[in-house]
Amino acid sequence: MLAAPPATRNVAVIGAGPAGLMAAETLASAGVTVTVYEAMPSVGRKFLMAGRGGLNLTHSESLVTFVDRYGAARDHLAPHIQAFPPSALIGWAHGLGQETFTGSSGRIFPVAMKASPLLRAWLGRLNALGVRIETQRRWRGWDANGALTFDGAPLVTPDATILALGGGSWEKLGSDGAWATILAARGVEIAPLQPANCGFAIRWSDVFRDRFAGAPLKGVHLTHEGHAVHGEAMITRDGIEGGAIYALSAALRDAIHRNGATTLMIDLRPDTTEGTLRSKLAVTKQGETLSNRLRRVAGLGPVAIGILREAHGVALPTEANALAHAVKHAPLTVHATSPIDRAISSAGGVRFDAVDDVLQLRAMPDVHVAGEMLDWEAPTGGYLLQACFATGVAAARGVLANLGRPRR
């Protein structure tokens, strides 16, 4: 267990999202004087936005499976998540008076199903710990003497700094990625910021776009280059988005970068085999239109029939074998990601090679990084918030360890 450093030590935490506030709590609980600087007029704006969908805090699956969700960043994040696992996050929420429950999908939510009660209780705890929060303090980097510079605030020279400025999505909520230029100028290696958990552009026909923009596509099976997911999507005027799409977004995005475009395959009736569908479609009624036949026999709604025509052309095959195959294999060409500012999260950021095992920048001693600033991505389902909380704890513990050593 880390020994508390002298209370006269002070740490600046820049960014008042989940990673920054968790770092502040960890430090203040150990007796450190902490000031949190936030560019926006209030704290936790993206956290509150996430709460509108129920605030999926974490997931109940095994820790082995859990850490695999981080893909290429697995080995870097696993030690931090193992040190502050989902059970610790749940216990932390309970300590703030926010009971949780596990949904049928294994996702874990607060009973209140929103972020505001938890954030209020959290800010009360931080206040009791003596954490000072200064809003409307946009960080601009360091001056020639190494002091932190802010808009509308005097220079600050803390004993250590934790950067928790978020990624590059949802600029209006405070995550604009402007820190990347500041750190790159200091010799920190940055992977380009890219949209993650995002929608994708598809060139719909005018008829389809005007009729179905905003319509849900339910109970479909999506496949892309060996990756498969079952779920729902939403048609947009420019393309497609939604939970099932987000789960494939990393693979789709990378394929577009390689090839300029890629193919997303949709099974519109995943609950029915192609053979069964073929047999049903072979039974026809005299004078029945193809659309009515698809509704009556295949159980396809108007949106699914529209997708079928977008994928295979307006003149669909009428023969049962070909039609059944078309329903089970509807290819859509996606050619671009949605803009990063519309993405749920972002990929890229400070490369893990640029930090040590306590998330301290190798190029800048006594500066640590936490949250979505680091180069990782994960699907929705509780993995995003869990990693932000866990790296906030890890960065703070790294600071505590370093504060007990002679200053460099």
CATH code of 114's domain? 3.50.50.60
Q: In this predicted model, what pLDDT tens digit does every residue of 303-345 receive, in sequence order?
A: 999 999 999 999 999 999 999 999 999 999 999 999 999 999 9
User: Is 343 exposed, middle or buried, given 0-12, 13-18 or 19+ CB atoms closer than 10 A?
Assistant: buried
On whether both 250 and 319 belong to a single domain, the answer is yes
Among 337, 359, 379, identify where a domain stops. 337
When pLDDT is averaged across residues 14-35 and rounded to a whole number, the result is 97
- What pLDDT does residue 117 have? 96
Co-location of 191 and 88 in the same domain: yes
Q: Is 252 inside any structural domain?
A: yes
176 falls within a domain: yes
Residue 3 in any domain: the answer is: no
- Percent over 90 (pLDDT), the chain: 90
Tokens of 361: 């920048």
Q: How many domains does the chain have?
A: 2
20 domain residue, yes or no: yes
Burial pattern 285-294, b for ≥16 Cβ within 10 A else e, equals eeeeebeebb
Question: Are 24 and 49 in a shared domain?
Answer: yes
The one-character DSSP state at 339 is: P
Q: What's the pLDDT score for residue 317?
A: 94
Q: Is the pLDDT of residue 4 over 60?
A: no
Task: Specify whether 331 is located in the same domain as 374.
Answer: no
Nearest to 119 by CA among 177, 49, 172, 173: 49
pTM score of the predicted model: 0.92
Domain-located, residue 98: yes
Same domain for 216 and 99: no
Residue 375 and residue 324 share a domain: no
Strand 33-37 relative to strand 132-134, pairing: parallel
Tell me the mean pLDDT in the region 193-202: 97
Based on the fold, state whether residues 17 and 140 are members of the same structural domain.
Answer: yes
51 found inside a domain: yes
- Residue 244, domain member (yes or no): yes
Distances in Å between the Cα of 258 and the Cα atoms of 196, 336, 393 are: 16, 12, 36
Is 408 contained in some domain? no
Predicted confidence (pLDDT) per residue in 104-162, tens digit: 999 999 999 999 999 999 999 999 999 999 999 999 999 999 999 999 888 999 999 99
Write out the residue range of the structural domain in which residue 64 sits.
Answer: 10-195+347-403
What are the tens digits of pLDDT across the range 343-397?
A: 999 999 999 999 999 999 999 999 999 999 999 999 999 999 999 999 999 999 9
Do 188 and 206 fall into the same domain? no
Instruction: Give mean pLDDT, residues 281-296.
Output: 92
Beta-carbon contacts of 256 under 8 Å, excluding residues fewer than 6 positions away, are 200, 262, 334, 335, 336, 337
